[in-house]
Chains A and B, each alone.
Chain A
Amino acid sequence: MSREHLGERLSALIDGELGPADHESALIHLAKCESCRFEADMMRRLKRRLHGLGEPEPDLDFMGRLVGLSRGDGPGGPDRGPSEPPSGGAGFGSRPPLGSSRPLGGFPDPGPTPPPAPLLTEETVVPPERRTRRRGERFSHLFPTLPGGRYAVAGVAVATALLGGAFVAGGETGDAPVVEPRLSDFAVEHAVTSRVIPVVDTPPSQAHSGPGPDLPTR
């Protein structure tokens, strides 16, 4: 596997559809194969964009200072241990280390805990109920569960872009001059060519003099 690229299994890995053994071997391959790692990163970014969940990553420096506070005289107070989480939520240390993101493809289904991959040595196991709320999976119920669901998502995105572009392009053209059709002149011209010549209330020479709604009557 290490000599062969992941191919189709890469997208399955991104979608968390691989079994535990395949998932582990895929991660090992990713650790060794820069090409697949790059492709996986691109697919993961694309998936995040499609799901509209391009959340900004926390500023590492800021988070580092927060960690420092939580280990010292932070909001938890000096009585609280450095690893003791504050009340009402998970504290620092219970989450993955700062600067790291979840592993590519999420986590395998429950089973034997895989040995830490070279790139994921500090990753912690996330309970299954939290995994369902992970980024990119939060709105998965909105999309079809068919095997080609991601293609449907891409199709929706393309259609949306097409409609949006057409809507913008269909706006009023700003460079069009304001004109006022000279109906009197048009009526005379029409009468001359059709020779259904009108009986005009004003001489045609006057009708040419300016715009106006004076349509002659026969």
Chain B
Amino acid sequence: MNAGGPSAHPVPAAVAAVVLLCLLLTGGAHPCADAVPGDGPDDGMAVLRRSAAGDVAYTAIREMTGEAGHGTPPTRVVDRPGDGVALIPMTGGADPFVVADSPFKELDERLLATLERVYTVTEAGVGEVDGRPAHTVEAVRANGTVAGRFWVDVDTGVLVGGSVYGRDGRDVLGFRLTDLEPGDRHWPEEVTEDSPWGDVLTPGEREALRADGWVLPENLAWNLSLIDARATVHAGHKVVHAVYSDGLSQVSVFSQRGKLDEDAPNGVRGGSTGTGTGGTGVTPQHETIFGGDGGRYHGMWQADGFVYTVLADAPTDLTASAVTALPGPDDSGFWSRVHRGMSRLGLL
């Protein structure tokens, strides 16, 4: 061996390489360090599960909170176990709205399971809502920030409040129940119940749809799981409604095979914009179809022979994760078309 050669001191060189590798691996925080499930005792789940299983009839006034609920009028809420939940507008001429209760028992459990998986759910003592003592339960991200809070009335077990917070700590969306009283004397007997679409898609049916080209993933993001999938038929065409949630917020993805009409107006009330053929009227980056910084979002576009409509009551980052996980709006550019073609040919 040549003593003067570069291999004369192999050990220091190897050590330096290992040290450099370690620095690269550990020197900087991952940009999404909190994009992992929260790890904790989840001692707050018992409080939420008792509340979900409660069968107390009550009447209250619901007020929306957070930036997404700003300016919305109060609504009277009547919960009649076994029948459903009625919302009765207290201003204007809007009609009462009744949601049947039966489809939600299983859905509630899936939501709670998702909440438990994604966040650390802890009981944070007893607070106060409208002068009544309430258990405070927090959903905490892996980085220690609070993603959501629930308030459960100590006396009745009714969920009397909830808030969803963005990563910047802003109160994006929430509600409070005030004037809580037992009984259902305001129940609108004349109103028929609304139920979700009846055709619940089983795992086998979902798999068959995927094989047929439908985009229906079990997870849109690490923290957005499919908790419900239903289908109906509009004008002879199947429409699939997939509900994704992190346990706090819900994102609805409606997909239907087809394309948008070039002659149809693109503008949708509320600031969102649907796409025209070729993705015109919206940027592929999705930012321009956000309805706002948070809260209710609705967007509509076409991609790969399907039309997607997304409705969400969620923080912006969560909605963005959902939207970007779906096929992007069709782009008429050369490379986009090549990329799309390669996907169709199975090369990507």
Contact = CB atoms under 8 A, between A and B. Distances in A.
B144 interface: no
Interface in A175-218: 176-183, 185-201, 203-204, 213-215, 217-218
Contact of B337 (A167, A180, A182, A195): A167
A204 B97 contact: yes
Contacts of A121: none
Nearest to A218: B72
Contact of B341 (A170, A178, A186, A203): A170
Contact of A178 (B243, B254, B258, B344): B258
A172 interface: yes
Contacts of B104: 195
A181 B311 CA distance: 12
Contacts of A213: 265, 267-269
Interface stretch (B40-48, B126-134, B191-199): B191-199
Contacts of B195: 192
Given A170-B338, A172-B277, A177-B237, A183 B298 contact: yes
Interface string A7-25: 0000000000000000000
B277 A193 contact: no
A185 B68 CA distance: 21
A60 interface: no
Interface stretch (B15-23, B87-95, B281-289, B318-326): B87-95
B186 interface: no
Contacts of B252: 186, 189-190, 193-194
Contact of A196 (B256, B268, B313, B342): B313
A185 B234 contact: yes
A193 B107 contact: yes
Given A189-B197, A215-B269, A195 B99 contact: yes
A146 interface: no
B338 A167 contact: yes
Given A181-B254, A201-B94, A173 B305 contact: yes
B61 to A, nearest CB: 13
Given A187-B311, A213-B269, A215-B270, A166 B196 contact: no
A168 interface: yes
Contacts of B73: 199
A142 interface: no
Interface size class of B (residues with CB under 8 A): 35 or more
Contact of B258 (A166, A168, A179): A179
A169 interface: yes
A190 B345 contact: no
A183 B296 CA distance: 14
A177 B259 contact: yes
Q: Which of B194, B261, B347 is most buried by chain A, counting CB atoms within 10 A of its CB?
A: B194
A199 B260 CA distance: 28
Contacts of B270: 215, 217
A203 B93 CA distance: 10
Nearest to B270: A215
Contacts of A197: 75, 85, 87, 97, 99
A166 B345 contact: yes
A67 B4 CA distance: 78
Interface in B160-193: 173, 175
A163 interface: yes
A209 to B, nearest CB: 12
Contacts of B277: 172
A176 B342 contact: no
Contact of A176 (B75, B194, B258, B340): B258
B264 interface: yes
B311 A190 contact: yes
B95 A203 contact: yes
Nearest to B304: A173
B269 A199 contact: no
A170 B269 contact: no
B260 A178 contact: yes
Interface of B: 64, 68-69, 72-73, 75, 85, 87, 89, 92, 94-95, 97, 99, 104, 107, 173, 175, 194-197, 228, 230, 234-235, 237, 239, 241, 243, 250, 252, 254, 256-261, 264-265, 267-270, 274, 277-278, 296, 298, 300, 305, 307, 309, 311, 313, 330, 334, 336-345, 347
20 contacts: A169-B342, A170-B339, A172-B278, A172-B330, A176-B259, A177-B257, A179-B256, A179-B257, A179-B258, A179-B259, A186-B311, A192-B195, A193-B228, A197-B97, A199-B87, A203-B95, A213-B267, A215-B298, A218-B69, A218-B72
**Top 4 nearest A-B pairs by Cβ distance?**
A170-B341, A166-B341, A169-B341, A179-B258
Given A166-B339, A170-B337, A185-B234, 20 more contacts: A165-B341, A165-B345, A170-B340, A172-B330, A177-B258, A177-B259, A179-B237, A180-B261, A181-B254, A181-B274, A183-B300, A193-B196, A193-B250, A193-B252, A194-B243, A196-B175, A197-B97, A201-B94, A213-B265, A213-B267
